[in-house]
Structure formats: structure tokens, C-alpha cells
Structure 1
Amino acid sequence: DTANYLSLMAASRGLNKQDALRKLIEKTVQLHHGILEFLRPRPEAYDAYVAFFNGYFKFHATFGRYKLEEIM
């Protein structure tokens, strides 16, 4: 499958998919930490974001569509 964000990112940057995935993960984690730092002084928003993130992550990590077991 080449019509997806990761494949397009890899092709546009001259990377293989594994390196593109690594960069995407690093950027995602960096942004997540930035959001947490921004929301930390706002406990209600922080708690809502963390609850949403936990559910969102668990859903997508276990959803068969992404075939994560093939790359883990």
C-alpha cells in the first residue's frame, strides 16, 4: 500500500518506510510532550487531554486496520 501518509512522507523525503516511521514517531512524541507541558497549568484541560489520548491510543493500537503487529 503506497497511498498512505507514511509512504508519501517516505517518498517525498527520500527515506525508506522504516526511517520515515521512526521520524514520524519521534515528531509525534515531541508534539505530545509539548501539548502536555502547555496544558499542565490547566488541570481540567490536561486531564481531559490525557483521558482522550489514552483512549485514542489504545483504540488505534489494537485496531486491526493498522497491522501494527507486522511492524512490532
Structure 2
Amino acid sequence: MVYVLPAFPPEVPLKSYIQAIPELINCCNYVNDVLSFYKEEIVGEQANFVTNMANCHRISKIDALRRLAEDTAADALRAMKIVSGHPGAYKAAQAFVQGYIVFHLASPRYKLTELFKYQIE
């Protein structure tokens, strides 16, 4: 994913983070899939990652979503562990992951604010 490489400043040696790139790419892809689930579900879309995952593993969509969210967090943690030996790479990776998630949470694209309109009585 093109977002990942520019997250690291030029002064951070490539060798300090290159092994974390696949984990960060997975994290980016899966964050989108996790956050897209609600908007896709409310319109009845069946051609999405969570539904395909549920069908492949013969589990419910909610269980697939939970598993995907856990895998996404695990990818982010693995990336952080990989870069933990280099403070510059660690700081850049941490800022990237946090910023990527916050940016997407703030986006109206996912319709997540609708989830907070309903109150359990």
C-alpha cells in the first residue's frame, strides 16, 4: 500500500522498518474492511471481506468481524515489535498507525456516527 512507505522519514534507515511493511499493509487493508462492514451491511452488500471470511470459515459475520479486528490489532502489534529496536522507526510506525485509524474513524464514508444514534433503553 502506498501509504506505508512515506510514513517513515528519509533519515530512518530502510533496514530498520522494511520487515514491518507487510504487517503495516495488512493493518491498512484490514482497518478499511473492519470499518466498512457497517456501511456494507446496512445496504445488504454481500461481496465484502467480512462476509467472504464468514462464509469460508463457516462462522457468523460478527465472529468474522471480531476475528478480523483481532488480526488487525495483531498485525499492528507485530509491526511495532519489528521496529522496536529503532526509536525513529518505532515513532514513525506508531504515528502512522494511530493517524491512519483516527483519519478513517473521522471519515463520514463509514457511516459510523449512525451507530451512536441508537440508545438502548
**Alpha-carbon RMSD:** 1.7
Residue 6 of structure 1: aligned partner: 50
Residue 64 of structure 2: aligned partner: 20
- The alpha-carbon distance between structure 1 residues 68 and 6, as it changes in their structure 2 partners (threshold 3 A), is farther
- Deviation string, structure 1 residues 26-64 (Cα, Å, up to 9, x no partner): 111112111111111111111111111111001112222
Name the SS of the counterpart of 2:46 in structure 1.
coil
Residue 51 of structure 1: aligned partner: 95
Name the SS of the counterpart of 1:3 in structure 2.
coil
Q: Return 5+ residue gaps in structure 1 as ranges.
A: none
TM-score (norm 1): 0.83
Identify the structure with the greater helix proportion: 1
More contact order relative to length (CA 8 Å, sep ≥ 6)? 2
Whether 1:68 aligns to 2:81 is no
CA–CA separation in structure 2 for the residues paired with 1:48 and 1:19: 32
CA–CA separation in structure 2 for the residues paired with 1:14 and 1:65: 29
Q: Percent same amino acid among aligned pairs? A: 37
What one-letter code is carried by the residue in structure 1 that aligns with 2:77? Answer: H
CA–CA separation in structure 2 for the residues paired with 1:4 and 1:66: 14
